[in-house]
Amino acid sequence: MRSKVSVGEYLAFLSTKFEVDPDNFFQALISAEKSKQATVGELSITCRSRTPEKAVMLISRGSKVVAQFPVPQEFLLEQRNPIRAFRKTSLTNRTTIGKAENSHALHIKDLRTGMKQINLKAKVLEIPKPKMVFTRFGNYASVVNVIIADETGQIKLCLWNEQINSISIGDTLQIENARMSTFRGEKQLRIGKKGTLSNVVNLNAPLEPIRNS
């Protein structure tokens, strides 16, 4: 079974990578959740959105985005700094996160209608204005087809509700356990209940934008 990186492990990795004291890092996250903005070392932390369950944090260094991901509120309410505990195994975290970021086996050019359990990494190129639709469950929901791309091509990614607010143009997304379908004759990637969508730290060269020939 493929192991997933926890929030604590990921933050410990960032703390080690950017040489930020874990206690100061944890306090900066708490401050950003309350005041929307905080700095620690060379890093800036912005709380993009907040719900009773989680806060979406954007971490940047100068003009470069380092990462964006949700942090559970229960994590921020921990009495003892969980980042420090995870940082003790930072070497293991580096290996785990490296595997998580590079585990995708497919590129966009490989996708075919009907494929399931798709894992890939792609960059957000365009986010159209979301539409409100009436679902088969009897409620209204916000939906949008985001344009994502890797070095092999681009495709539409169907996102709903909170998923839409968790991303921005230019983000690099790790998509896991998605499926390919066709809607009104157009191919699109969908993330079901078992799928996950997360922002990742791009440790390698950035994806080149797709240019129309």
- For residue range 135-151, what is the model confidence (pLDDT) as tens digits? 777 888 899 999 999 99
> Which are the contacts of 23, defined by CB distance < 8 A and separation ≥ 6?
81, 83, 84
Q: Same structural domain for residues 191 and 148?
A: yes
pLDDT at 88: 64
| Token reading at 25 | 């890092």
Please, which pLDDT band fits residue 53 given cuts at 50, 70 and 90? Answer: very high
Structural domain includes residue 136: yes
Name residue 153's beta-bridge partners: 150
Same structural domain, 83 and 55: yes
- The encoded tokens of residue 88 equal 């003790």
The confidence band for 105, taking pLDDT boundaries of 50, 70 and 90, is low
Please report the pLDDT score of residue 156 as a whole number: 95
Q: Domains in the chain: how many in total?
A: 2
Q: Looking at the predicted structure, is the pLDDT value of residue 46 above 80?
A: yes
Strand 153-160 and strand 131-134: the pairing is: unpaired
Residue 209 within a domain: no
Domain boundary among 101, 116, 144: 101
3-state secondary structure of 71: strand
Same domain, 84 and 116: no
Q: What DSSP character marks residue 138?
A: S
- The upper half-sphere exposure of residue 205, i.e. CA atoms within 13 Å in the direction of its Cβ, equals 5
For residues 97 and 20, state if they share a domain. Answer: yes
- Of 69, 101, 133, which residue is a domain's last? 101
Sign of the CA dihedral running 33, 198, 10, 19 = negative
161: left (phi over 0), alpha (psi -120 to 50) or beta: left
pLDDT at res. 1: 32
* Burial 152-190, CB ≥16 within 10 A → b, else e: eebbbbbbeeebeebbeeebbbbbbebbbeeeeeeebbb
Q: Are residues 163 and 141 in the same domain?
A: yes
Please report whether residue 212 resides in a domain. Answer: no
8 A C-beta contact, residue 176 and residue 193: no
- Domain boundary at 80, 101, 122, which? 101
Q: Residue 175's domain spans which residues?
A: 105-199
CATH assignment at residue 152: 2.40.50.140
**Residue 201 pLDDT exceeds 80:** no
Tens of pLDDT, residue by residue over 164-180, are 888 889 888 888 889 99
